Amino acid sequence: MNPFNAAPNMFLGYNQMSLGFDKKNPSDPNDFFPGLAASWTSSDAGLTVQLQPNAKWSDGTPVTAADIKTSLAIAYTQGTAGPAAGNFEVAEVKDLGSGKVEIDQVPRVKNLYFQRLVLSATIVNDKVYRGQLPADV
């Protein structure tokens, strides 16, 4: 079960969520509806996300900053979040407490689609996926 590299017959609905949903606004590619993220602020360093206060996984587990960190670490191992052209270029994910998460971009990189890429990233349950990551991620 790998929603980052899913087989054609996999139903993703119960396995993953997104921080936001694309509004398909042709004049602003970073225009999103809230998803797991209730709100967010963008800066030159990256993105700060406030998670929905009552967001839960299908098993009742609350959505946490650990879910975001694990999800972006998995994306990194799959080659989509690391420092390469066309990727998120995520440097670090920090739990700021109270459901607030800071996602930093690689220093001296200005990816104009960083917000879009992060908000539309596949977010999975840390409890389920953490054990599949290398210890040093």
pTM, rounded to two decimals: 0.84
- For residues 23-42, one letter each, b for 16 or more C-beta atoms within 10 angstroms of the residue's C-beta and e for the rest, the string is eeeeeeebebeebbbeebee
Identify the pLDDT of residue 86: 60
Identify the pLDDT of residue 109: 79
Q: Which two tokens stand for residue 43?
A: 């800066």
Residue whose C-alpha is closest to residue 107's, from 85, 86, 90: 90
Identify the pLDDT of residue 59: 86
Neighbours of 65 (CB within 10 A): 21
For tokens 């977010």, what's the residue? 123
Confidence bin at 5 (pLDDT 50/70/90) = low
